[in-house]
């Protein structure tokens, strides 16, 4: 025994154990595994085979229960590892087969298997067993066999797949040893940046320097202490790989940068180690450029590449950086396949027409909480997809070099000076994993989903709501290609306390004032049916931009669509729709808006009248039915009461009450009748547009409403067909009592004449409050008479009003904001020319949310 060994033994050996790992204790029965585990690990970290035997058989020593016990042990260990929790297995594990199963388990969950061997003399084990009542009759040969098997195993443990093996020999070493928890190399969750994550550089030294400059770095150091993070592929193809390496390595060394390896570093690293690799895909350029460098520098590079960690988990787990993207279950994990995915991504096994592997669209399926920032696949422009973003914007191919500021989520880029390297195939025009024009897939919409929105973060859709939306979308909606938007629901104003009113605009003005919105516009509500119109200049535009009118369509293709709040066409007869679209088209052309807005299509939000056109079924079965029943019942009832009273019998307040009810019912009938008129073809049909939602390349959802209405007014003015109708409006300053009073009076006057009411909107359209949250895009204030249609004929009776005031608006408001954010998202995706499935995902989300349980009268 050397001196040093003696010293260690005395002080106790420190055993490094990774924080996420599967620790396998190896030792004979009685070697002290349970005691060791108890001393060094938390009780919940340890699963013992004896305990599992007890679970399945009520007897910890029942050897016949061993198989079931190990099933349970593996199951529990699997659950813990899947959840990212270190697990210690307390079983003899002296047989290779038992250990192999545990190593497989660790691999399956991409964690390190670690062995701690307790090599204690057989006699000691036997003595200890004899001292335990429950093991007293264990035959000596069992321990003998254990010890024999252990000895035989010792040399093979590393080869079996254990990444760390600690062998403790003798009782004393076992007792003195300590366990030191080590973090994984990829776990940098304690670093909070801020970071500047930089895409694939590929030897574009000049672009890198320009980008670092633009980001504020001075000679590789950021004055505000920011950290650069490179997503790999620093080398190959470009003009100055050594320059790039020199810069990045210096920054990493000084702690100003982090770097993960790309597949190109990996290959070059193998070349540096003398392995035989093909000098393709730009490696030849690197080798040539590096020949001009010193042997010392090449050694540094080799060491640098060798030390790169496949991916990093940063900022409290909110950020994951790697080269080729990483599904959530691999985050922070350590295994060969994690490294392989991080470097190369996943492929479908197929090759495309350029002979390149077809990448598996892992990001489409990504639902993780951490943002994954990566590179590897050149894309024309970096875009978020399910909380992942690819920063490889093809600098070396003449694109740009892009960085992402974190946590700001801002993109910063510099254009490439030139095409440094000809791409094997043209830069795809799609987001990673996306396919322009690929058919919609059920996985885009089905089940529980989370939709990433620019304006309001992640919005989740529940499974049952998606199921209902799927039914309606599939069976009744217009072609999804012509359904790029669905309007959000709108919350009513806070419940009014004004005598006789359930809703009153004073509340709406007050709410906006509170939200910090000074200027609002009151827009008259038309009491038709909400309608969205997609109007293309001609069928050719619809074909080119929206891809309809080809293939199975009959005759001349459609020039757009006109649909309801659930995406259903207003008219079964396509020619009627086309007639309306034609009239809108002419008005748009006459107003000169095609050129002015530089577009050949536009998407309109509007109200289609009369209400009776679409709601006739509901009118007949519900509204008119109530009118008919009350109209038939009251004359008799009143006559009976009057007759009774005439006989001198006291009818109390009953007669007066019935007269009031009869009057209420008559008022109700009048209320719905205002929104009904006969139509014949398009005769009598009117459309009141109030917002141009989007045009080619632009979402206009953020265009202030006064500018919106000015555009709309011109359309209406130039409409020669009598279809279009203007929307009356009044601007109100929420901080000015006089102005607010004028707004209230305007509403009183309008609803007093039977108007439906109005919608109050911030003039600035998309507006946020002080906390940065979206404010309601509109608040409806419905007229007193109109609300009879909603709350019933007698809702204005004081006792009814008192009860109805107990209504709860929060869910409706939250729903309105979520749907609004999804609608905005759909418009942005549409404007940016994103693939259909991306637009459809957001549109479908709106429809699904509409089936959430919320008081339908709000």
Partner 1 sequence: MFLTISTTGTPGRPATDLGFLLHKHPDKTQAFPTSYGTAHVLYPEADAERCTAALLLEVDAVALVRRGKGKGRGGAPDAALAQYVNDRPYAASSLLAVALSSVFSSAMRGVCKALPERAGQPLPLRIEVPALPARGGPDLVRRLFEPLGWTVTAEPVPLDVRFPEWGDSRYVRLVLEGETLTLAAALRHLYVLLPVLDDAKHYWVASDEVDKLLRAGEGWLPAHPEQQLITSRYLSRRWSLTREARERLELVRLAETDDSEVEEIDNAVEADTGDGEAEEKPAPLAEQRRAAIMTVLRESAAARVLDLGCGQGQLVQALLKEPRFTEIVGVDVSVRALAIASRRLKLDRMGERQAARVRLFQGSLAYTDSRLKGYDAAVLSEVVEHVDLPRLPALEYAVFGSARPRTVVVTTPNVEYNVRWETLPAGHVRHGDHRFEWTREEFRAWAGAVGERHGYDVEFRPVGPDDLEVGPPTQMAVFRKKDDVNDVKDKEAKAA
Contact range with partner 1 by CB under 8 A, out of 2-10, 169-177, 407-415, 628-636: 628-636
Q: Does 856 bind partner 1 (CB under 8 A)?
A: yes
Distance from C-alpha of 44 to C-alpha of 59, rounded to nearest angstrom: 21
Which CB atom, from 123 or from 441, has the smaller least distance to partner 1? 441
500: left (phi over 0), alpha (psi -120 to 50) or beta: left
Q: Does 553 bind partner 1 (CB under 8 A)?
A: yes
Contacts of residue 812, defined as CB under 8 A and 6 or more positions apart, other chains included, come to 489, 491, 492, 854, 855, 858
* Stretch 811-850 residues interacting with partner 1 (CB under 8 A): 811, 847, 850
Distance from C-alpha of 854 to C-alpha of 594, rounded to nearest angstrom: 40
Among 356, 498, 639, 656, binds partner 1 (CB under 8 A): 639
* Stretch 606-625 residues interacting with partner 1 (CB under 8 A): 611, 614-625
* Stretch 213-242 residues interacting with partner 1 (CB under 8 A): none
**Cα 407 to the chain's mean position, in Å?**
17
* Stretch 512-541 residues interacting with partner 1 (CB under 8 A): 529
Rg (CA), the chain: 36
CB of 499 to partner 1, least distance (A): 18
Among 661, 729, 813, 838, binds partner 1 (CB under 8 A): 661
Q: What is the length of the chain?
A: 858
Contact range with partner 1 by CB under 8 A, out of 120-128, 395-403, 632-640, 764-772: 632-640
DSSP class of residue 620?
I
Q: Does 555 bind partner 1 (CB under 8 A)?
A: no
Q: Does 122 bind partner 1 (CB under 8 A)?
A: no
Q: Does 630 bind partner 1 (CB under 8 A)?
A: yes
Which CB atom, from 636 or from 772, has the smaller least distance to partner 1? 636
Q: Does 430 bind partner 1 (CB under 8 A)?
A: no
CB of 807 to partner 1, least distance (A): 11
Nearest CA among 446, 430, 427 for reference residue 438: 430
Distance from C-alpha of 328 to C-alpha of 333, rounded to nearest angstrom: 10
Among 435, 513, 543, 659, binds partner 1 (CB under 8 A): 435
Structure token pair of residue 802: 């008192």
Contact range with partner 1 by CB under 8 A, out of 307-315, 510-518, 652-660, 686-694: 652-660
Q: Residue holding tokens 């042990």?
A: 73
Which CB atom, from 766 or from 790, has the smaller least distance to partner 1? 790
Compute φ and ψ for 802, nearest 5 degrees.
-60, -40
Distance from C-alpha of 599 to C-alpha of 301, rounded to nearest angstrom: 53
Distance from C-alpha of 601 to C-alpha of 597, rounded to nearest angstrom: 10
Nearest CA among 552, 541, 482, 551 for reference residue 839: 482
DSSP class of residue 134?
G
CB of 54 to partner 1, least distance (A): 30
The number of beta carbons lying within 10 Å of the beta carbon of residue 6 is 10
Please count the residues of this chain forming the interface with partner 1, following the rule CB under 8 A.
Answer: 106
Q: Does 683 bind partner 1 (CB under 8 A)?
A: no
CB of 545 to partner 1, least distance (A): 17
Which CB atom, from 243 or from 778, has the smaller least distance to partner 1? 778
Structure token pair of residue 39: 């001393």
C-alpha distances (whole Å) from 90 to each of 23, 63, 117 are 9, 16, 11
Which CB atom, from 243 or from 487, has the smaller least distance to partner 1? 487
Among 640, 663, 710, 737, binds partner 1 (CB under 8 A): 640
**Cα 228 to the chain's mean position, in Å?**
26
Say whether 380 sits in a helix, a strand or coil. Answer: coil
Among 81, 309, 591, 665, binds partner 1 (CB under 8 A): 665
* Stretch 55-84 residues interacting with partner 1 (CB under 8 A): none
Contacts of residue 552, defined as CB under 8 A and 6 or more positions apart, other chains included, come to none
Which CB atom, from 642 or from 769, has the smaller least distance to partner 1? 642
Among 96, 398, 631, 702, binds partner 1 (CB under 8 A): 631
Q: Does 674 bind partner 1 (CB under 8 A)?
A: no
Compute φ and ψ for 732, nearest 5 degrees.
-130, 140
Q: For the window 451-480, what string marks contact with partner 1 as x by the rule CB under 8 A? A: -------------xx-xxxxxxxxxx-xxx
DSSP run (H or E) holding 406: strand 400-406
Which CB atom, from 123 or from 352, has the smaller least distance to partner 1? 352
CB of 778 to partner 1, least distance (A): 16
Q: Which residues of 553-569 are buried (b: 16+ CB within 10 A; e: fewer)?
A: eeeebbbbbbbbbbbbb
Among 59, 306, 410, 441, binds partner 1 (CB under 8 A): 441
* Stretch 754-813 residues interacting with partner 1 (CB under 8 A): 789-795, 800, 803-804, 811
Which CB atom, from 169 or from 797, has the smaller least distance to partner 1? 797
Which CB atom, from 413 or from 503, has the smaller least distance to partner 1? 503
Q: Does 656 bind partner 1 (CB under 8 A)?
A: no
Distance from C-alpha of 531 to C-alpha of 567, rounded to nearest angstrom: 9
Say whether 576 sits in a helix, a strand or coil. Answer: helix
Which CB atom, from 440 or from 742, has the smaller least distance to partner 1? 440
Contact present, 119 and 170 (Cβ < 8 Å): yes
Say whether 387 sits in a helix, a strand or coil. Answer: coil
Q: Does 673 bind partner 1 (CB under 8 A)?
A: yes
Which CB atom, from 82 or from 629, has the smaller least distance to partner 1? 629
Q: Does 50 bind partner 1 (CB under 8 A)?
A: no
CB of 811 to partner 1, least distance (A): 7
Q: Is 618 exposed, middle or buried (0-12, 13-18, 19+ CB in 10 A)?
A: middle
DSSP class of residue 648?
T
The number of beta carbons lying within 10 Å of the beta carbon of residue 370 is 22
Among 445, 459, 603, 744, binds partner 1 (CB under 8 A): 445
Which CB atom, from 772 or from 798, has the smaller least distance to partner 1? 798
The number of beta carbons lying within 10 Å of the beta carbon of residue 678 is 9
Q: Does 554 bind partner 1 (CB under 8 A)?
A: yes
CB of 563 to partner 1, least distance (A): 10
Among 14, 82, 356, 629, binds partner 1 (CB under 8 A): 629
DSSP class of residue 682?
T
**What pairs with residue 389 in β-bridges?**
373, 384
Among 37, 676, 692, 779, binds partner 1 (CB under 8 A): 676
Among 419, 498, 598, 628, binds partner 1 (CB under 8 A): 628
Compute φ and ψ for 78, nearest 5 degrees.
-60, -45
Structure token pair of residue 276: 């035989």
* Stretch 332-361 residues interacting with partner 1 (CB under 8 A): 350, 352-353
Which CB atom, from 131 or from 654, has the smaller least distance to partner 1? 654
Q: Looking only at Cα atoms, what is the longest distance across the chain? A: 124
Which CB atom, from 274 or from 555, has the smaller least distance to partner 1? 555
Q: Which residues of 498-518 are buried (b: 16+ CB within 10 A; e: fewer)?
A: eeebbbbbbbbbebbbebebe
Q: Does 854 bind partner 1 (CB under 8 A)?
A: yes
CB of 600 to partner 1, least distance (A): 21
Q: Does 565 bind partner 1 (CB under 8 A)?
A: yes
CB of 176 to partner 1, least distance (A): 56
Which CB atom, from 180 or from 625, has the smaller least distance to partner 1? 625
Which CB atom, from 527 or from 700, has the smaller least distance to partner 1? 527
Contact range with partner 1 by CB under 8 A, out of 244-252, 294-302, 656-664, 685-693: 656-664
């Amino acid at each position: 025994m050397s001196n040093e060994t003696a010293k260690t033994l005395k002080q106790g050996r420190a055993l490094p154990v990774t924080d996420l790992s599967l620790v396998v204790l190896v030792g004979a029965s009685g070697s002290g595994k349970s005691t060791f585990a108890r001393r060094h690990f938390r009780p919940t970290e340890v699963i013992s085979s004896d305990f599992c035997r007890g679970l399945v058989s009520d007897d910890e020593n029942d050897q016949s229960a061993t198989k079931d016990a190990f099933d349970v042990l593996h199951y529990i260990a699997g659950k813990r590892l899947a959840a990212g929790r270190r697990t210690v297995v307390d079983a003899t594990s002296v047989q290779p087969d038992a250990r192999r199963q545990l190593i497989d388990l660790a691999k399956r969950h991409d964690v390190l298997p670690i062995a701690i061997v307790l090599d204690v003399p057989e006699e000691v084990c036997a003595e200890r067993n004899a001292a335990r009542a429950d093991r007293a009759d264990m035959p000596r040969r069992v321990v003998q066999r254990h010890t024999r098997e252990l000895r035989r195993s010792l040399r093979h443990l590393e080869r079996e797949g254990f990444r760390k093996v600690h062998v403790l020999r003798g009782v004393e070493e076992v007792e003195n040893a300590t366990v030191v928890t080590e973090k994984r190399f990829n776990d940098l969750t304690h670093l909070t940046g801020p970071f500047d994550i930089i895409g694939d550089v590929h030897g574009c030294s000049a672009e890198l320097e320009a980008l670092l400059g633009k980001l504020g770095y001075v000679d590789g150091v950021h004055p505000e202490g920011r950290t650069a993070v490179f997503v790999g592929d620093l080398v190959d193809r470009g003009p100055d790989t050594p320059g790039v390496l020199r810069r990045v390595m210096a920054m990493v060394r000084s702690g100003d940068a982090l770097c993960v390896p790309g597949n190109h570093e990996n290959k070059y690293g193998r070349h540096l180690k003398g392995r035989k690799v093909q000098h393709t895909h730009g490696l030849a350029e690197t080798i040539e450029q590096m020949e001009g460098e010193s042997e010392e520098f090449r050694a540094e590079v080799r060491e640098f590449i060798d030390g790169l960690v496949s991916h990093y988990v940063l900022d409290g787990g909110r950020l994951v950086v790697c080269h080729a993207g990483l599904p959530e279950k691999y985050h922070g994990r350590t295994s060969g396949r994690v490294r392989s995915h991080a470097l190369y991504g996943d492929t479908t096994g197929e090759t495309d027409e350029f002979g390149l592997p077809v990448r598996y669209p892992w990001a489409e399926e990504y639902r993780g909480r951490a943002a994954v920032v990566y590179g590897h696949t050149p894309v024309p422009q970096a875009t978020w997809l399910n909380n992942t973003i690819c920063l490889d914007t093809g600098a070396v191919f003449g694109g740009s070099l892009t960085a992402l500021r974190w946590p700001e989520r801002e993109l910063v880029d510099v254009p490439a000076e030139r095409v440094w390297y000809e791409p094997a195939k043209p830069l795809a025009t799609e987001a990673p994993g996306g396919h322009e024009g690929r058919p919609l897939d059920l996985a885009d919409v089905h089940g529980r989903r989370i939709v990433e929105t620019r304006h309001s973060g992640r919005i989740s859709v529940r499974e049952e709501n998606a199921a209902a939306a799927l039914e309606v979308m599939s069976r009744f909606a217009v072609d999804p290609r012509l359904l790029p938007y669905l309007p959000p629901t709108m919350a009513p104003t806070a419940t009014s306390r004004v005598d006789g009113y359930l809703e009153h605009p004073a509340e709406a003005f007050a709410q906006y004032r509170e939200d910090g919105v000074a200027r609002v516009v009151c827009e008259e509500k038309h009491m038709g049916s909400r309608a969205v119109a997609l109007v293309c200049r001609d069928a050719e535009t619809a074909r080119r931009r929206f891809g309809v009118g080809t293939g199975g369509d009959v005759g001349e293709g459609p020039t757009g669509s006109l649909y309801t709040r659930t995406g259903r066409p207003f008219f079964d007869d396509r020619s009627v729709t086309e007639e309306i679209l034609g009239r809108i088209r002419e008005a748009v052309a006459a107003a000169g808006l095609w050129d002015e807005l530089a577009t050949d299509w536009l998407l309109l939000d509007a109200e289609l009248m009369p209400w009776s056109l679409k709601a006739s079924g509901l009118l007949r079965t519900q509204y008119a039915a109530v009118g008919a029943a009350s109209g038939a019942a009251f004359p008799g009832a009143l006559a009976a009461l009057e007759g009774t009273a005439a006989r001198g019998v006291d009818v109390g307040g009953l007669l007066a009450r019935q007269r009031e009810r009869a009057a209420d019912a008559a008022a109700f009938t009048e209320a719905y009748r205002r929104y009904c008129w006969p139509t014949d073809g398009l005769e009598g049909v009117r459309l009141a547009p109030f917002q141009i939602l989007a045009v080619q390349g632009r979402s206009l959802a953020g265009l202030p409403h006064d500018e919106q209405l000015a555009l709309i007014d011109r359309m209406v003015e130039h409409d020669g067909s009598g279809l279009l109708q203007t929307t009356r409006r009044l601007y109100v300053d929420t901080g000015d009592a006089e102005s607010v009073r004028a707004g209230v009076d305007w509403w009183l006057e309008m609803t007093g004449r039977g108007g439906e009411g109005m919608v109050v909107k911030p003039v600035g359209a998309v507006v946020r409050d002080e906390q940065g949250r979206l404010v309601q895009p509109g608040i409806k204030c419905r007229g007193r008479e109109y609300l009879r249609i909603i709350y019933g004929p007698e809702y204005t009776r004081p006792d009814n009003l008192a009860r109805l005031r107990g209504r709860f608006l929060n869910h409706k408001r939250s729903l309105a904001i979520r749907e609004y954010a999804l609608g905005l998202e759909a418009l942005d995706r549409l404007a940016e020319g994103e693939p259909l499935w991306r637009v459809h995902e957001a549109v479908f989300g709106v429809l699904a949310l509409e089936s959430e349980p919320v008081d339908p009268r709000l």
